[in-house]
Amino acid sequence: MSTSLTRPTTMVEVRSRQSRMMTKEGIQRALAFQPQPTDVIITPYAKSGTTWVQQIVHGLRTRGDMNFDEITSVIPWLEMAHDLGMNLEHPQVAQPRAFKSHLRWELVPKGARDIYVMRDPKDVAVSMYHFMAGWWFEPAAIPLALFAREQFLQPQGPNAYWAHIRSWWPHRDDANVLFLCYEDMKQDLRLTVQRIAAFIGCALDDELLALVVRQSSLEFMRTHQQHFDDHLIREARDAVCGLPPGGDSSKVRTGNVGDHARELPPETSAECDRLWREEIESTLGFPSYEALRVALSRDAG
């Protein structure tokens, strides 16, 4: 009998494989982590600019050093560190120490400086689909509409987009939180780098600013995508998750704003609008993502 591994072709299979990704002990260690006051935790919802901010932070603290295997090796993922054999307490290559997370505010370890990024949920859904296709499932077997409905457009659950943004929004003005908007980052990367540098306490001169802006550009990160493709996670966890080796998981694709208008089926877009009204407008009072973005810009200004 063949024991070769295959990629899932149904969302039921996808969820089953994903349930093996993180161990209970790994998650418990992440939740129990006690950061230092100077630590930085980069904690957006998935596919909302996490890797982008990791690259900016690492470039600022090392003056653009690209001598690393994969970004996870120099900015550990709190929830995955134990399962990758990484000790969160170990010194890092530069100060400040930096970590990645996708935890909601109430779960993220307290005492550090947190960077949050919000992104249009429709673009998040499209980006997540392309990221997982070819790694977690056979792309031809699961269309975008099905994936979005089963994986992303769920109102409840600990990993729901809606609960995540609701948890962080009330803390956008906290002294230890830098609350960013993905679309604004795209619009003015230079200003974004300046804001992050000031937040993490990194002295910024013109040379370093130009270097970090260049190295966090889409063109640069796509050229060096081997540093941002999660291959360390795939090598450590694919077999455990029942996935064959060699999957494509590059996190640097187009980085576009508004891809959903071209790719997301109208009925899926309408479902996202409905969930926004039920999950966000009913609690935060904003009728659309754009209204939330305008409010954030007004607060920042």
Distances (CA, A) of 231 to 67, 70, 238: 16, 7, 10
Active site residue 227: no
Q: Which is nearest to 229 in space by CA: 248, 216, 214, 246?
A: 248
> Which position among 102, 130, 227, 260 bears the catalytic label?
102
* Cα separation, 261 vs 273, whole angstroms: 13
Distance in angstroms (rounded) separating the CA atoms of residues 51 and 33:
21
The string of DSSP letters for 282-295 reads HHH--SSHHHHHHH
For residues 194 and 54, is the Cβ–Cβ distance under 8 A? no
Residues taking part in catalysis: 102
